[in-house]
Amino acid sequence: MRNGRQQTLWHSQRGAAAIEFAFAIPVLVLTLMILAQLGLLYFAHAGLEHKVGEAARFATLYPRRSNAEILQKIDASGFGLASSRLVESKVSNGKDHGTDFVLISVSYAVPIGMGILGDLQITLSEQRRAYLP
């Protein structure tokens, strides 16, 4: 049999909210960290698309641009992207049904700083074909 004090403690609800909060807060913090990282990843992807789109637009201007000029444009454009994280920028020429084109490929390394997992990197790649005048 339990005495009166043990029975009171057993049925007491005091402090239950604090324990529930202690269980819930790590899940909430982890969810916020993941959402922040996804936002940074989305921002980097948008910047990469912008960078490749600007290079493709530049390649289609008259007079015809050289591959070196297009690569310079890739390095110069792109909002929010650090040039030091560019993994690869490549421009190659080709012909499709008698029409000249330039294939622009850019890869960018996005650091994922979750702290717990160490320093991870995700490499984003974007490619666009621009038909020349």
Residue type, 2: R
Cα separation, 100 vs 96, in Å, equals 6
What pLDDT tens digit does each residue of the chain (133 aa) get?
A: 556 666 666 677 778 888 999 999 999 998 998 899 899 999 999 999 999 999 999 999 999 999 999 999 998 877 788 888 999 999 999 999 999 999 999 999 998 876 666 778 899 999 999 999 8
